[in-house]
């Protein structure tokens, strides 16, 4: 199989930390084509779930189906996987795992604006305080590919995107792909 010309980047973090905002902007600004996959949306659109959990207002994902669906897409590279969890992805998939972090009071406001019910806001807020997603990323992937980034302001977003674009250029250069 031909070597991919662009990496596979996972953008993860507690809901509301800014994954989709980052993923969209990154795909718009990257000089090499990248495709944004909002995994939560894929799960719904392609019915890759076992059931809908009324209590948590979320889908219980069928991980086997999800991975089967993603595998051929990921193999081509040039993908940004946007999901609030990352441990389901095989270790060999990502070249970079970005974990977005946000102050819990700012996160609370974002989730409230999103219309989440109180229990779901509390659960996510607690997870952010306990750095659940960061720990999950660190235990699932080599430490050198896991990068924690703050996402509390527009300046943070701009700096993070610039940093990821620089990283992509270095990734391509290492593989003799730069122009």
Ligand X SMILES: Nc1ncnc2c1ncn2[C@@H]1O[C@H](COP(=O)(O)OP(=O)(O)O)[C@@H](O)[C@H]1O
User: Given the complex with ligand X, which of 62 and 152 has the nearer CB atom?
Assistant: 152
Angle between helix 154-174 and helix 19-29 axes, rounded to 10 deg: 50
How many other C-beta atoms can be found within 10 angstroms of the C-beta atom of residue 60? 12
Q: What are 29-34's contacts with CB under 8 Å, separation 24+?
A: 29/161, 29/165, 30/6, 30/165, 30/168, 31/165, 31/168, 31/169, 32/5, 32/6, 32/78, 32/168, 32/172, 33/6, 33/78, 34/6, 34/9, 34/78, 34/79, 34/80
Residue 163 assigned as binding residue: no
**Cβ nearer to ligand X, comparing 13 with 94:** 13
Binding residues for ligand X, rule CB under 6 A, total 15
Whole-angstrom Cα distance, residue 151 to residue 156? Answer: 5
21 is in an annotated binding site: yes
The Cα–Cα gap between 159 and 154 comes to 9
- Smallest gap from Cβ 112 to ligand X, in A, equals 11
Q: Does 78 bind ligand X (CB under 6 A)?
A: no
State yes or no: residue 83 binds ligand X (CB under 6 A): no
Q: Interacting stretch for ligand X, rule CB under 6 A, among 46-54, 68-76, 91-99, 154-162?
A: 154-162
Is residue 151 part of the contact set for ligand X (CB under 6 A)?
yes
CA distance 47 to 51: 9
Pick 20 or 131: Cβ nearer ligand X: 20
Among 129, 153, 159, 162, binds ligand X (CB under 6 A): 153
Q: Which is nearer to ligand X, 10 or 157 (CB)?
A: 157
Report in angstroms how near the CB of residue 29 gets to ligand X at its nearest.
15
SS3 for 78? coil
120 is in an annotated binding site: no
Q: Which residues are annotated as a binding site for ATP?
A: 16, 18-21, 114
Residues that bind ligand X (CB under 6 A): 13, 15-21, 110, 151-154, 156-157
Q: Which residues are annotated as a binding site?
A: 16, 18-21, 114
């Amino acid at each position: 199989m031909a070597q991919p010309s662009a990496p596979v980047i996972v953008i993860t973090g507690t809901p509301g930390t800014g994954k989709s905002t980052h993923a969209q902007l990154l795909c718009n600004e990257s000089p090499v084509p990248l495709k944004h996959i909002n995994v939560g949306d894929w799960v719904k659109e392609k019915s890759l779930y076992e059931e809908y959990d009324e209590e948590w207002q979320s889908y219980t994902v069928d991980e086997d189906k999800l991975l089967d669906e993603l595998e051929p897409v990921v193999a081509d590279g040039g993908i940004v996987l946007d999901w609030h969890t990352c441990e389901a992805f095989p270790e060999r998939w990502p070249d970079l795992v970005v974990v977005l972090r946000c102050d819990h009071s700012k996160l609370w406001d974002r989730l409230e604006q999103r219309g989440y019910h109180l229990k779901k806001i509390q659960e996510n807020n607690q997870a952010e305080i306990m750095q659940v997603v960061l720990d999950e990323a660190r235990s699932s992937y080599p430490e050198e590919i896991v990068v924690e980034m703050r996402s509390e302001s527009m300046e943070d977003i701009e700096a993070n995107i610039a940093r990821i674009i620089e990283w992509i250029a270095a990734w391509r250069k290492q593989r003799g792909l730069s122009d």
